[in-house]
Amino acid sequence: MNNTPFLFALVLLIVLTASGESRAAQLFINELFHNDNFPETYTKPIPREEKPMLKPTKDRPKIALTFDDGPDAFITPQILDILKETQVTATFFVLGEKVVRYPEMTQRIFDEGHLLANHSKTHQDMAEMTNEDIVALELEPTSEAVEKVTGYYPTIMRPPYGSLRTDSNRYLAENGWKVVRWSLDTFDWDSTRNAPENLIKRIEDFHHPNAVVLMHCNGRETVMALPRIIEFLKELEYEFVTVADL
């Protein structure tokens, strides 16, 4: 019996599998600035399911915790208390309407050394807006509201839902805005899978150097999971930075 075809197929399968794992290890993203490789539209946050890369040996790996949809009067102060107690710096992508409603909390975020960034005024899907309206109706009013409270004008933004056309991505970059999405979604926004242990498990499974971690200011599950998330990442010697410092 001639086993040559079988052996050839087996060797081919091994090669393809190995190369696929190698490619997958490189797929996690660091989307700080400008990237034209996104599809025309995102309708909801897109998770990255790749396994973590090995920890760098020379320098401490960096990671950026980010919190969307604040500030508010209940969840945001609890998050800030945890960050202060653990001496962790984070990035808050704030909504303009809430900045106006909670100026004291906006000021506290700024005073405690965290980065304030722009998450739009009203959380509209920007893929359905003209480029001019994105800036005039959503981004500029939000950054102006932050500036009125803190004296700081954010130029880093994250589109609601991660939804932004490629032409808008390009337009914003040309007009001085830096677009930041994420590389690790905790799914704390999804009530079907946001139990604290699930959020922790996603960090344990998918952490990686230069990760941008997506969380929100609108759920007690995030508050419950955050201390263990920070503890776990500190055990791995991660350095917590803002998205501007990745």
What is the Cα–Cα distance from 61 to 105, expressed in whole angstroms? Answer: 30
How wide is the angle at C-alpha 237 spanned by C-alphas 231 and 113, nearest 5°?
70
In 108-179, beta strands by DSSP E: 115-118, 156-157, 178-179
Residues 6 or more apart whose Cβ sits within 8 Å of residue 161: 42, 43, 44, 45, 125
Q: Which of 68, 69, 185, 188 is catalytic?
A: 68
Q: Between the CA of residue 117 and those of 18, 133, 152, what are the distances in Å? A: 40, 19, 10
Gap between the Cα atoms of 62 and 55, Å rounded: 10
Q: Are 27 and 113 in contact (CB under 8 A)?
A: no
Which amino acid is located at 19 in the chain?
Answer: S
Q: Which two tokens stand for residue 91?
A: 């990035």
Q: Is residue 207 flagged as an active site residue?
A: no
Which one is catalytic: 114, 207, 208, 216?
A: 216
Residue 156 has a CB neighbour count (10 Å cut-off) of 20
Q: Locate 75 and state its tokens.
A: 């969840």
Determine whether 115 is exposed, middle or buried from the number of CB atoms within 10 Å of its CB (0-12, 13-18, 19+).
buried
Q: Which helix (H) or strand (E) holds 6?
A: helix 4-25
Length of the chain: 246
Q: Is there a catalytic annotation at residue 216?
A: yes
Active site residues: 68, 216
